[in-house]
Structures are given as C-alpha cells and as structure tokens.
Amino acid sequence: MASLKKLSVFGLGKLGACMAATFAERGFDVLGVDINAEAVRKINAGEAPVDEPLLAEAVGKARKRLRATTNPAEAVATDISFFIVPSPSLPDGSFSNEFLMRALAPIAQAVRKAKKKNHIFVISSTTTPGACRKVIIPMLEKEIGGKCGKDFSFCYNPEFIAIGDVVRGLLSPDLVLIGESDQRAGDLLEELYRKYNLNQPRIARMSVTSAELTKISVNSYITAKISFTNQLRMIADRLEDTDIHQILDAIGSDSRIGKKYLRAGLSYGGPCFPRDNRLVVYTAKEVGLSAPLAEATDAVNEMAKDQLALQALACTKPGDTVAVLGMSYRPHTYITEESAGLHIAQSLKRHGCRVVVHDYASTTKNSPSLLEFEYLADPAKLKNEKRLKAVLICCPWDGYRKIKFPKGVKVFDPWGVLA
C-alpha cells in the first residue's frame, strides 16, 4: 500500500487555505482548487488568500510544494482530495450539501474519464449526520460508475479548530477524527496525519456516520458547558455576596469537570458552535426524538445576551449613548457572525439607544454588519461621547483592561476583563 504523497484541497477559504499550506509545509505535494480565481492567484503568488494568523508564513514556507488551480480535473493526478467548501445551515437546522455536491461532481467525472481506481475523497466540511452515506456517496458512485470502498474510497475527516488559531489547531490537535468507508483508506489517512501532526493526537477511527455525529457532538458538549457557566453567572449576579469567578474556579478544580470553557463570560457565537448545536436538535428530530439538552443550551445562550441588554437598558433612557466593546465572536478574529456583541448592539439600538461600537479586529470594512452603528476607532476616546450611560464588554479582548472609563458610567463586564 503506497503512502499518500500528492494531495488536493478543494476550497481555499479560512480552513482550506490553512490545510493546503500546512500540508505542503509538512512535506506533501499540494494542489489547491477553488472557484475563486483571486484565491488561486494569491496562493500561486505565495500570498495568503485569507486573513489568519501564521497563514502567510505557512504559504511562504510551502511555496515549492504548493500550487493552485481553478480546474478541478487536475486533481485526478493527486492521490487524495480534501473538500472544505461551505456547508451553510438551512432554516430547519440541517446543513446544505449543495457546495459539496458541486465541488465533488467534476472530479468524480474526471476520475471516471481517466478510469482511475482508488481515488480517496475526504469531506472535511461539517455535514448533517447521514448526509455522506445517503446523499454524497451515492452521487459519487453514480458519477464514477463504481462502488465506494472498492473502486474509490471515502472518508469523513472534519477538523477541530478555532478561527484565529487555525494553523496551530491543525498541526497540534487533541483529536484526529476519521470516518472511513474501508480500512485501506483509513490506514492511509492515519499514516498521513502521523506525518503531518507536530504532536501525537488521539486518532479515532469509525464509520462515516459515527464521525459525522461525533463532530457536532464535540461542539454541542462545549456549548453546553458554556451555557452552564452563563446560567450560573446570571444566578450569581442576582445573589448578594457572590463572585462568579471564584465559584467557577472552584468547580473547575474537580477533575471530572475541568477548567476548559468554564470561564464566566457571555454567549457563544461564530460560524460553528451555534449551528452545530442546532444540528444536534435537527438530527434528533430526524430519528423521531427530541434533544432537550441541546435545546436548553441554545435557550440559555439567547437568554444570556438578552439579560445583558436588559440590564443596560435599565440604566438608560431613549437617546442615551451605550458603548458595546468587542463585536467579534472571540478575540483574535474579525468575524461577527452570531456574536454576542452584535446581537446586544442591535437590541439596544432597536430600543432607542444611540449605540457606539468598537472592536480590535472587526471593522465596518471587513464586517458590514457594523455599518448600522457608529464605529469608535479608539476606545480611549469614549470619554468624549455625549450622554454615555453604559459600557458593555462583550468580547474579552485584552486591550479593554487598560481603558479608563468615564466616571458615572455603568460598566458591564461579564468576562471579568477588568477584574
């Protein structure tokens, strides 16, 4: 069984560009494929196609072994193809297969035309549990005219990374998850990761559908832990003589619980946590069950944001100014998708407040959702704001520690940034 040497990565976005560059940096020959000609041009020019820490350095180091194209058929010459294209959420909570199907079909047709055997198709995008087995593999079998596990192989291999930490997260993960159609494909992918990873992560191998369910369950568990801390914080806020940070520090010392994601803060957001947890609810419904734990996690998440907005409204009158600091969903990223800061700023504006916003990475340029607010370039200038009644720190950027807030202004700091 020959090792995998030539890799193709379909989708050169926030994750795919980092996968392609780090695979090449670690010694594999990599072909990046994207429908976005600008992303392809940038990779070929040795530039990072997206903003992500350490990506530009990885692309620079990988140059000799990294090339990109808009022509999917070129990937037939590679041993294995990774697909990391969007899989957007649908209104019912499931994830769309549309982008994956469009990305897979041309290479499947090219594999058929070349009469190639044993090509390995790897889905890294998050999918609805059951989608690979019921929708994607049957489409590949039809287009290739062969049987999965015999004429070609299929793996589901999602990555567990956080935006802002993708390169480090890819190279040194806790877990590599491989759902496999056949042992040969699983063995080859495992061998690839043993060469690629800088650490020695647990490599968990299972069926494709088990891996789909595992992927979203990791995020559902983490979000449950976050909602637990938010529920406790809201109770402690109303109970005299309590300090939520001391309480959680003590709880997390129990090794059965642990301290990770047990920090007092605000609602989770971003492109993965909220929708992955909602996908658990959808998946339960699909098999005739409900998922009350996942639903409660979501409900507490909404409640934590709404409670903070209500607390701010209680100390303002219409027309007063409120400053929302931290619009990104976590530090070190500009992404505002489903962020607590964005939700709260919108709610305060709807209730008649004048809302000024600040973030160290999100700007009106990279996050058009901020255009509806007045953008404060320098939070130190808060003291010049007229009728400023409340400041809400919604994302725990370190920079907020140093700010001197004007006297008489109520500061809400659920993350304890100023503590």
Q: Cβ of residue 355: shortest distance to ligand NAD, in angstroms?
A: 27
Strands of 34-136, DSSP E? 66-69, 80-83, 119-123
Q: Determine the Cα–Cα distance for residues 159 and 144; give it in Å rounded to an integer.
A: 27
Instruction: Determine the longest span between alpha carbons in the chain, in angstroms.
Output: 75
For ligand NAD, which stretch binds (CB under 6 A), given 85-93, 109-117, 147-155, 403-411?
85-93
Q: How many CB atoms lie within 10 A of CB 128?
A: 23
Site string for ligand NAD, 304-343 (x = CB under 6 A): ----------------------------------------
Q: Cβ of residue 177: shortest distance to ligand NAD, in angstroms?
A: 12
Site string for ligand NAD, 150-189 (x = CB under 6 A): ---------x-x-x--------------------------
Q: Cβ of residue 77: shortest distance to ligand NAD, in angstroms?
A: 17
Q: Give the CA angle between residues 126, 129, 131 to the nearest 5°.
A: 85
Q: Determine the Cα–Cα distance for residues 126 and 215; give it in Å rounded to an integer.
A: 8
- Interaction of residue 393 with ligand NAD, rule CB under 6 A: no
Q: Cβ of residue 23: shortest distance to ligand NAD, in angstroms?
A: 15
Q: Cβ of residue 232: shortest distance to ligand NAD, in angstroms?
A: 27
Out of 103, 222, 342, 395, the only residue in the binding site for ligand NAD (CB under 6 A) is: 103
Among residues 102, 142, 135, 107, the alpha carbon closest in space to that of 121 is found at 107
Out of 6, 29, 35, 130, the only residue in the binding site for ligand NAD (CB under 6 A) is: 35
SS3 171: helix
Q: Give the CA angle between residues 263, 269, 273 to the nearest 5°.
A: 90
Q: Cβ of residue 38: shortest distance to ligand NAD, in angstroms?
A: 9
The residue among 4 and 19 lying less far from ligand NAD, judged by its C-beta, is 19
The residue among 321 and 339 lying less far from ligand NAD, judged by its C-beta, is 339
Amino acid residing at 297: T
For ligand NAD, which stretch binds (CB under 6 A), given 4-12, 227-235, 236-244, 355-363?
4-12
- Interaction of residue 73 with ligand NAD, rule CB under 6 A: no
The residue among 267 and 307 lying less far from ligand NAD, judged by its C-beta, is 267
- Interaction of residue 102 with ligand NAD, rule CB under 6 A: yes
The residue among 89 and 316 lying less far from ligand NAD, judged by its C-beta, is 89
DSSP for 237-270 reads HHSTT--HHHHHHHHHTSTTT-STT-S------S
- Interaction of residue 85 with ligand NAD, rule CB under 6 A: yes
Angle between helices 273-286 and 292-313 (to 10 degrees): 140
Q: Cβ of residue 109: shortest distance to ligand NAD, in angstroms?
A: 13
Q: Cβ of residue 254: shortest distance to ligand NAD, in angstroms?
A: 29
The residue among 100 and 390 lying less far from ligand NAD, judged by its C-beta, is 100
SS3 359: coil
Give long-range contacts, CB 8 A cutoff, 24+ apart: 374-382. Answer: 376/323, 379/323, 379/325, 379/403, 380/404, 382/323, 382/356, 382/406
**In this structure, are residues 143 and 103 in contact, taking their beta carbons and an 8 Å threshold?**
no
**In this structure, are residues 70 and 37 in contact, taking their beta carbons and an 8 Å threshold?**
yes
Out of 53, 60, 86, 149, the only residue in the binding site for ligand NAD (CB under 6 A) is: 86
Site string for ligand NAD, 212-241 (x = CB under 6 A): ------------------------------
Dig out the tokens for 353 from the structure: 């407040």
**In this structure, are residues 95 and 131 in contact, taking their beta carbons and an 8 Å threshold?**
yes
- Interaction of residue 87 with ligand NAD, rule CB under 6 A: yes
Query: Containing H/E element for 288?
Result: none
Number of residues that bind ligand NAD (CB under 6 A): 26
The residue among 49 and 146 lying less far from ligand NAD, judged by its C-beta, is 49
Give residues in contact with ligand NAD (CB under 6 A): 10-16, 33-36, 39, 84-87, 99, 102-103, 125-126, 159, 161, 163, 271-272
